[in-house]
Structure 1
Amino acid sequence: MADDKRGRDKQAQDADRRQRERALQAELERYDEAEPPIEDAELDELEAELETVSFPATGAEIVDAVGERRVTAGQKTYAVEELLPEAEVETFEAPEVVRSRIQRPTVASAMKRIVEASETIPNVEFSSGQRDAYEKTIRALQAVDTLDEDEGVRAITDWIIEQIEEKGKLPESRDVRRQGAKITRNTGYEVRSDEWLGI
């Protein structure tokens, strides 16, 4: 490349492009790290305690067995009963499922509230696909830097519970994503079309 103005401009543009690509990659890698997870050693101990439970087991059965057990994420400590729904509508197939559910406490406590609220719906079926979509929306809101103190997580959780109370049914996953996008945009954060909330 010639050492003239055009060559230097091209080098500067290439350097700028590479820097933006690195920043984007770093942001994508941090997407699921909105809060410190519970340490593996603690989760291993909890999983060992769950050997006394006969699986598949309801959330209520698990809370009855290990609900007072405490786990730590970052600077906060939680009782398992704060993270799992004391409900009959959700069944856990194995200890590994319990482990993955409580690994991110903010998401787990939001889903606990939603699952417990859904028990008021007659013959409710909370499918794993619907649950996964709710969780993904909550994680996306938790990852938005402009939302303080998990404001977005509380807002979407409250909205879902209001929908359950008003309509007597679980809101569709797509509606939850739309509401999550609305909450995010109201904070001034742009939601791209290639993101989970970009529908």
Structure 2
Amino acid sequence: MAAVQALKKFRLHQLKGLESHIARNGPLPAPEGPVSGVRLPNPFLPHRNPQTGRWAPPKYSLRRQAELIKNAKATNNLELLPPGPKLSAPAAAALSGRLDASVGASQKISVLDESLAFSVDWVGKFEPKTRVPSLYAGRKRMFKGHKWERVRDRKKSHRYMLLRDMDKRVAKYKKMHRKKRPDPLKTPKKWSTKLPF
């Protein structure tokens, strides 16, 4: 019963809001297609004030939209809600078709009053966001990146070269170190005290 009350409240609120909307912003824009019912601004979408040019946020937050959709699903009245970010028109049509099939078209009874079950043409077009391709799609080079990313390949090849020849380098160092080491049995070389000037 709470779901029905929520939908009734939503429809009444939209009818009352239509009068104040027309008084503030003037008549609604002309429809693109044939009009089949009452024309209301879509409360699930942001709208632009024609006088000031500023955008106003949607009347219903995403959380409240989700609650209304949940209530509409429970009462099998999804077609009463406007399309929005939480439920687009094609998805609503497909979902209501599935719900009708599960309930049975003959058993479906609108729980709303006849006065509230009027058809509505919602003003404002909802376009779902398309997925943005990868940031590097179609680029020849990557962005600047971090320094460690830019020098990583060069360091890796240098490290590989050093490790490949490590045995030779160790043997060479030990041999050279042995030659440079002073012999303890030899007498130390005397340094001349003669100054060069």
Q: TM-score, normalised by structure 2?
A: 0.21
Structure with a larger share of its residues in helix: 1
- Rg larger in 1 or in 2? 2
* Higher relative contact order (CA closer than 8 Å, sequence separation 6+): 2
